[in-house]
Structure 1
Amino acid sequence: MRKVLTGDLKPGMRVAKTLYVSDGRILLNSGVILKEAYIRRLKEKDIPAVYIMDETLPEVEVPEFISDQTRLQTAETLRGCMNSIDMGTELNARKIKKTVNEIVDELTSKRHVIVHLNDIRAYDDYTFGHSVSVTALSILTGISLGYNKLELRDLGVGALLHDAGKIKIDESILLKPSKLTENEFEEVKQHPRIGYDLIKETDGISFPSAHIAYQHHEKYNGSGYPRGLKGDDILEFAQIVAVADIYDAITTDRVYRKALPAHKALEVMHNLMQAQLNPDIAQMLFKNVAVYPIGSVVELNTGELGIVVDVNKEDLSAPVVRIIKGDEINQDEITEIDLMHNKGIIIKDVITDRKKWEDNK
Structure 2
Amino acid sequence: MPKQVIVQPSIDAVEIIDTPIPVPDNKEVVIKVAVAGSNPKDWKYPLCGDDIAGIVHSVGKDVYEFKPGDRVAALHRAGKENGSYAEYSVAPDWTTFHIPEHVTFEEAATVPTAALTAAIALYVDMQLPPPYKSGESNTPAIVIYGVTSAVGAFAAKLARLSGLHPIIGIAGRASGYAKTLVDYVVDYRLGEDAIVASVEEILMKEGLGGKASHVFDAISEGGTLETTLRFLNADGGIVSTVLPPSLFARDKENFTYPPGVTAINSAVPRVHSTHEDFGYIWSRFFGRLLADGRLKPHPFEVVPGGLQGVLTGLQKLRDGEASAIKFVYNIEDTDDSLQPSKLSSSTEPRTKPHSLASFPFPS
- TM-score scaled to structure 2, two decimals? 0.29
**Rg comparison, structure with higher value:** 1
Higher helix share: 1
What's the TM-score, normalizing by structure 1?
0.29
Q: Comparing both chains, which one has the higher relative contact order based on Cα–Cα distances under 8 Å and sequence gaps of 6 or more?
A: 2
* Higher strand content, 1 or 2: 2
